[in-house]
Amino acid sequence: MKTRITEAFGIEYPIFQGGMAWVSEAKLAAAVSNAGGLGIISAMNLDADYLRGQIRACREATDKPFGVNIMLMSPHVEEVAQLVMDEHVPVVTTGAGLPEKYMKQWVPAGIKVAPVVPSTAIAKRVARAGATAVIAEGCESGGHIGELTTMALVPQVVDAVDIPVLAAGGIADGRGIAASLMLGAEGVQCGTRFLCANECQIHENYKKKVLAARDIDTQVTGRRLGHPVRGLKNPMMRAMHDMEYDSSKTNEEIERYGAGALRRAAIEGDLETGTFMAGQIAALVKKEQPAAEIIREMFAEAEKLLAEAPKWLA
């Protein structure tokens, strides 16, 4: 499948693997890149030493393009923003903020930038700042989310900018890819489906929880704090949710309560106090399998649907 996304990023399939904190490590990213997608390492809220190690591990495992996701609220954002230039990382995606300040350096340095955008206004801003593409991510996705859904956001972003758009949120099979193309996107970014890739090194409890998830098993917390997060329902998510509706609790208390929960989920598999980020499409993840098989399966299904689409015309 050829789109402006495959051309611009030099990849075989128009699919990015989302940058997920404590999940998207070099091993998963390299596996996705080797399979013809764009693997992405998450810089999360760790420092340049961590990221340097990940970038080098990824380069040892693949000679294909890969990316780094920079979380703009990270306390180490300045040093990791510099590191991706020093290391000549081919692609940077950004989340949780406005990347223009950093794009002023990245774009002239030849880094292809694809920010995650929650609205048309932000899509237009990053397009003006030289983005190669934008990732229009709907609130059905796991992790930090915006307000708009994929179905509503993607066509509006497509109308707002001339650069190619990747759809993200709620996509875990070929139907989601084919639907995204109909909405005007030219590629997709998937997170949840890759949680159960063999190469994904999260705790076994996390994978089990994703495999057991039903459609209604995710929940959003953090709306009151202004940065909502979607994850799988568990005691931690329920406690956070209850605290938000208790106005005797300060925002600082709630933040403190949630601190470290992602790590506890992904590394320790702590079912009680971890936050297991996953999207509403988790129920479509049926088994653990190699990243390459995930990508081949998804695109085989999408290609069949697109080839057969004219059947609907009476």
Q: How far is the CB of 268 from its own copies (least distance, A)?
A: 28
CB under 8 A: which stretch of 36-44, 105-113, 124-132, 305-313 binds its own copies? Answer: 305-313
Site for its own copies in 271-300 (CB under 8 A): 279-281, 283-284
State both tokens at 98. 């406005």
Q: What are phi and psi of 283, to 5 degrees?
A: -65, -20
Helix axes 120-128, 150-160, angle to 10 degrees: 40
Q: How far is the CB of 22 from its own copies (least distance, A)?
A: 23
Site for its own copies in 184-243 (CB under 8 A): 184, 214-216, 223-224
Site for its own copies in 240-259 (CB under 8 A): 244-248
Site for its own copies in 61-90 (CB under 8 A): none
Ramachandran region, residue 88 (left: φ > 0; alpha: ψ -120 to 50; beta: rest): left
Q: What are phi and psi of 284, to 5 degrees?
A: -80, -5
Q: Cα-Cα-Cα-Cα dihedral of 143, 146, 152, 153, to 10°?
A: -100
139, 237, 240, 254: which one contacts its own copies (CB under 8 A)? 139
4, 124, 175, 296: which one contacts its own copies (CB under 8 A)? 175
Q: How far is the CB of 90 from its own copies (least distance, A)?
A: 22
State both tokens at 99. 């990347």
Site for its own copies in 147-166 (CB under 8 A): 147-153, 155-156
Q: Say whether residue 120 binds its own copies (CB under 8 A).
A: yes
Q: How far is the CB of 79 from its own copies (least distance, A)?
A: 32
Q: What is the 3-state secondary structure (H, E, C) of 213-265?
A: CCCCCEEEECCCCCCCEEEECCHHHHHHHHHHCCCCCCHHHHHHHHCCHHHHH
**DSSP for residue 308:** H
Amino acid in the structure at residue 239: A
Binding residues (CB under 8 A) for its own copies: these are: 1-3, 119-121, 138-140, 147-153, 155-156, 169-171, 173, 175-176, 178-184, 214-216, 223-224, 244-248, 279-281, 283-284, 303, 305-307, 309-310, 312-314
